[in-house]
Structure 1
Amino acid sequence: MSPTQTPGATPDGTPDWTLDWAPLDQELRHWQAAGLKLPLWWRDDDAIEPTPQLDQLSALAQKLTLPVHLAVIPRDAQPALAAYVEAHPEVIPLVHGWAHISRAAPGDKKCEFPPQHPLAGSLAEMAEGLARLEALFGPRLQPIFVPPWNRIAPELLPLMADLGFAAVSRFTPRAQAWAAAGLAQINTHLDPIDWKGSRSLVAPERLINQVSDQLRARRLDQADNREPYGILTHHLVHDAAVWDFTEALITRLMQGPGQIWTFDKKEDER
């Protein structure tokens, strides 16, 4: 693949090697001229066990030299996944809710810990999830809570640090660095999957424009560039177009202003 070619997807699912990256390339040149750096991280959701797709994810993380933060569903996590993570230092486990089930009210968007669920029950499951994954992964686990569907009742946030969580990760640029006292906010910003349509790749030109706009907002101090820019993927449902676009995008960012970010509680206490 040449620097100007990239795999998008044609209607029949085969790669399209003529996608235009010019909007992002231009923005990255602005970053280079300004001497700016982009803290970059990668989050992938819904793991419970080793799979061929996890092998592909791990291999890509190694190729890109960017760790992948794996959001693991505590209730269903298998001991074999702990052994896998132990053997793959490029995979960093996080806490992904408890059982990844929705308790949202009829007509509401999916949410495992919505406002109408009893507070004590939510806190108990969150604590149990953290304890179970700490037992499986030991010090490899990062105490970052990833709520399924990126949604959580706001009243839970001030109580999460007392459970042992140091950060929460959802989706879209954060409004502030702290979700609550002692709880950093480290979101993701770009999801390449068309969940409401084809469940393949979002129109690539739309994704390129989205990341270009997000980086421009950071460069112009209209968004918080201290927050690591997050790529969100779901390895279990990727097709070739999603895998290829993810690789092409991260490659571009890493060749430009991207700098590897991993969570450091002390560093993020600012």
Structure 2
Amino acid sequence: MMETSIWQPMIDRFDRLKAAGRRVDFWLRDDDAVEPTPALDRLIDLADRFSVPITLAVIPGHTGGELSHYLARHDDIGIAVHGWTHQNHATPLEKRQELGGHRPREIVLDELGRGYSHLKALHPSSFVPLLVPPWNRIDPGLIEGLPGIGFMALSVFGPERKGRSNPDGAKTMKSGSIASAFPRDGLSLINTHVDVMDWHGTRGCRDHREIIQDIIRRLDEMNVDEEAVGILTHHLVHDESVWEFLSRLFELTAVHPACRWRRVSDLIAR
């Protein structure tokens, strides 16, 4: 049985959406995939159980045919470009970033182009033209070069629109500057908004109540008819509390008529 005490505020919000004839879209982005692992098996099995599509942000420079062959057996998985090698180029006094302004723009865009081509070749049927910057940070000056590579969307962490509050500003490099670059012809901004991990504390799962509060906060700030709730996970570092939370979230949202899990390719097309 699901504990309804901490989940009830979110259930109540979904019930109100249902009564109003509205529905909220969710999408799941999981970062840092490179190869098949027991943790990836567990994530895919859990998502399959509740028909939740997964967007895997794969690190191009560290992956190859092993992951490609493994994922070919699974449906409802989209492959996004997670930088090039997930290498930090920032100085010790800065937040980590691979796609910052520390190197010539041409070099960074060339690496992203190589990553795009590599993953598209490895995963021809599941590749999506989505860039997920490592550490959710990208220099705004690089954004205008992404459509020329073939990218149709960018995904970092935080609200897509200017003026919206960011529950964890440290997650996003120059969040306001990135939002200011949109709307942009040929490129959508499709972010994640709720992170299950306590990166600055236990490095395990955050308190479940806090994650639920973040989901409700996102529902408050978003346009339900035009935007989605992006859930961010990292399968390689999940503890049991993360798996428990995801199981309960999927269980609840999979059956509630006011909720719908979407492929990121559908969100890009929209």
Task: Specify the TM-score bucket, using the shorter chain as the normaliser.
Answer: 0.7 to 0.9
One-letter amino acid of the structure 1 residue matched with residue 3 of structure 2: T
Structure 1 CA distance, aligned partners of 2:6 and 2:46?
23
Deviations 1:171-211 (A, max 9, x none): 11211694532111111111111011101111111111111
Write out the 4+ residue segments of structure 1 that deviate beyond 3 Å after TM superposition. 176-179, 267-270
Normalised by the size of structure 2, how large is the TM-score? Answer: 0.87
Distance 1:269 1:245, change over 3 A: closer
Amino acid at match of 1:247: S
How far did 1:260 drift?
2.6
Report the residue type matching 2:137 in the other structure.
R
In structure 1, what is the equivalent of residue 263 of structure 2? 262
Q: Does 1:42 pair with 2:28?
A: yes
Q: Which residue of 2 aligns with 1:253?
A: 253
Indicate which of 117, 133, 143 corresponds to 1:157: 143
Give the conservation status (yes or no) of the 8 Å contact 2:23–2:224: no
Q: CA deviation at 1:224?
A: 6.0
> How far 1:87 moved relative to its partner?
0.7
Give identity over the alignment, percent.
36
1:94 maps to which of 75, 80, 89 = 80
Structure 1: runs of 5 or more not aligned: 6-18
> 1:46 is paired with a residue of what secondary structure?
strand
Q: 1:191 aligns with which of 171, 178, 195?
A: 195
Structure 2 unaligned regions, length at least 5:
162-178
> 1:245 corresponds to which letter in structure 2?
F
SS in 2 for 1:44: strand
Give me the whole-angstrom Cα distance separating, in 2, the residues matched to 1:245 and 1:138: 32
Could you tell me the TM-score, scaled by structure 1's length?
A: 0.87
* Contact residue 253 and residue 259 of structure 2 kept, 8 A: yes
TM-align CA RMSD: 1.9
CA distance in 2: counterparts of 1:179 and 1:123, whole angstroms:
21
Shift in Å, 1:61 = 1.1
Q: When the two structures are aligned, how many residues end up with a matched partner?
A: 251
Letter in 2 for 1:4: E
CA distance in structure 2 between the aligned counterparts of 1:211 and 1:242, rounded to whole angstroms? 15
Bigger mean CA offset, 253-262 vs 119-128: 253-262
- Residue equivalent to 2:240: 240
Distance 1:224-1:120 versus aligned 2 partners, 3 A rule: farther
